[in-house]
A and B are shown apart, each in its own frame.
Chain A
Amino acid sequence: AQTVTQSQPEMSVQEAETVTLSCTYDTSESDYYLFWYKQPPSRQMILVIRQEAYKQQNATENRFSVNFQKAAKSFSLKISDSQLGDAAMYFCAYRSGLGATNKLIFGTGTLLAVQP
């Protein structure tokens, strides 16, 4: 069974600085998708970024980028130029690409605080 591990329960970053959130996963599959979701205090989980395992190029969305290391099964999220609005719980999630299942498997989350 696939598992997702986020080893940092809490992180803190100064406004305008860069922070990296860690995520590792375990799978025997070769085709899968990885996601980072953000959950602000307002509770709605918002998709931040998505990575397809067959793509070697790291995904980027504005200030958010990932470091996808397939061999190491690592999928870290880098937030550049951190803003106060980035403060939230961040969840890493895995989805199989085999088509038999669409469920997301989540990590336990990292609570990010942004200091002014």
Chain B
Amino acid sequence: EPEVTQTPSHQVTQMGQEVILRCVPISNHLYFYWYRQILGQKVEFLVSFYNNEISEKSEIFDDQFSVERPDGSNFTLKIRSTKLEDSAMYFCASSEGTMGQPQHFGDGTRLSIL
């Protein structure tokens, strides 16, 4: 069964550094998402992406965050200048459409900011 794959599984970064989290969505999916889960808290929506542009973003997704689909397969989340509070599990998801089609999640990347 096709899967969403994320790399790396764990990223450790110094505060203030840039980090790029990578995702390969399921190949025939058109909608892409990033969510994050701070330890012990809810999974929170960050951003959705369709047709090479952001379709929706949350209040969390401020100017330090950006997303990109640099080629036909990868979908990346960049955090420009990481803060301690960015430490979380980041999940990528994709879906075929939006009319009830479920979002399929990757394994997540655990981001630790030191």
Contact = CB atoms under 8 A, between A and B. Distances in A.
B100 interface: yes
Contacts of B91: 45
B25 interface: no
Interface string A92-116: 0000010101111111110000000
A27 B25 CA distance: 30
B89 interface: yes
Nearest to B4: A44
Interface residues of B, number: 26
B45 interface: yes
Contacts of A42: 107
A104 B56 CA distance: 12
Interface string B10-44: 00000000000000000000010101000001111
Q: Is the interface of A mostly helix, strand, loop or mixed?
A: loop
A103 to B, nearest CB: 4
Contact of B95 (A52, A102, A105): A102
Contact of B33 (A43, A103, A109): A103
A64 interface: no
Contacts of B99: 99
B48 A102 contact: yes
Contacts of A43: 89, 107-108
Contact of B43 (A33, A44, A99, A106): A106
A56 to B, nearest CB: 16
B58 interface: yes
A37 B95 CA distance: 15
B8 interface: no
Contact of B98 (A46, A99, A105): A99
Interface string B88-114: 010100010011101111111000000
Contacts of A35: 102
Contacts of A46: 105
A109 to B, nearest CB: 8
Given A44-B105, A44-B107, A102-B98, 12 more contacts: A33-B100, A37-B105, A44-B106, A44-B108, A47-B103, A52-B100, A102-B56, A102-B103, A103-B56, A105-B45, A106-B43, A107-B42
